Amino acid sequence: MKTYPLEERYETLKISRDGRKLTITMNRPDFLNAADTVLHEELAHVFYDVAVDPDSDIIILTGAGRAFSAGGDIPWMRDAIAKPEMFEQTAREAKRIAFSMLELEKPLIAKVNGHATGLGATLALLCDVIFASSRAKIGDPHVSIGFVAGDGGPALWPQLIGYARAKEYLMTGDLMPATEAERIGLINHVVEPEELDARVDAFADKLANGATKAIRWTKTLANLELRRIVGAVMDPGVAYEALSNNTADHREAVEAFLAKRQPVFTGK
């Protein structure tokens, strides 16, 4: 069986290297790096691939263009409404994404170059250290499209900012500026856009020049409890999200978004 270099395996992810640093770039800039069928499936595989990549020690996750990731692609959601069986694969992939990121021994840095919303926010928060542009906003607006935030948000947000704040943001879907996210401890650092690459590179180089095994295994220990919590929440989370996929409110929100109008929710 022929195997391809990591850089050639993906359609919507760009893989690049700088020494022992490997950067994964979500590469759908015209769609704000929103996940469609292909990107979601590739995200469910890539962290397992980089885990066994012998030529990298530090992994950086970012987005192409002006966004980190706008979450889920709305036309993809419309297809899932028409074909509910699609959601079974989506649920399996959602769990693979979360667990592959948390189980990755190599340090994983989020370079949040622009807005990170929905799944995009979850991807950032699953990383070990998060650097964000001062122009970025972050939030989990699943509820704004009549969807349960089942792909990891309810497991991650309370551990980072406490239950009261987490529930406020998850139930409203409000986005917050990166400066506010840094202030409340949701992310690590906010920097000016023109300084983002240099700051991430400097931090990655510091780790790359450190004791590789000690750093990896320290991360592994720090993630043990988070892995337990995410493991407990993900199955019911994706189950509730699947239920919400079949609601009238979700259908209304998707159609309203595509028609560029405000949704009218009925609680059904």
What is the predicted pLDDT for the residue at 79?
A: 86
Domain ranges of the chain: 6-194+210-259
Cα–Cα dist 263/268, whole Å: 13
**Mean pLDDT, each 10-residue run in order, the chain (268 residues):** 78 96 98 96 97 97 98 88 83 95 98 97 98 98 93 95 97 97 98 98 97 98 96 93 92 90 93
Q: Which residues pair with 117 in a beta bridge?
A: 139
6-194+210-259: CATH homologous superfamily?
A: 2-enoyl-CoA Hydratase; Chain A, domain 1 (3.90.226.10)
> DSSP string of 14-66?
EEEEETTEEEEEE--GGGTT-B-HHHHHHHHHHHHHHHT-TT-SEEEEEESTT
Taken in order 241, 246, 247, 253, the sign of the CA dihedral is positive
**pTM: predicted TM-score of the whole model, two decimal places:** 0.96
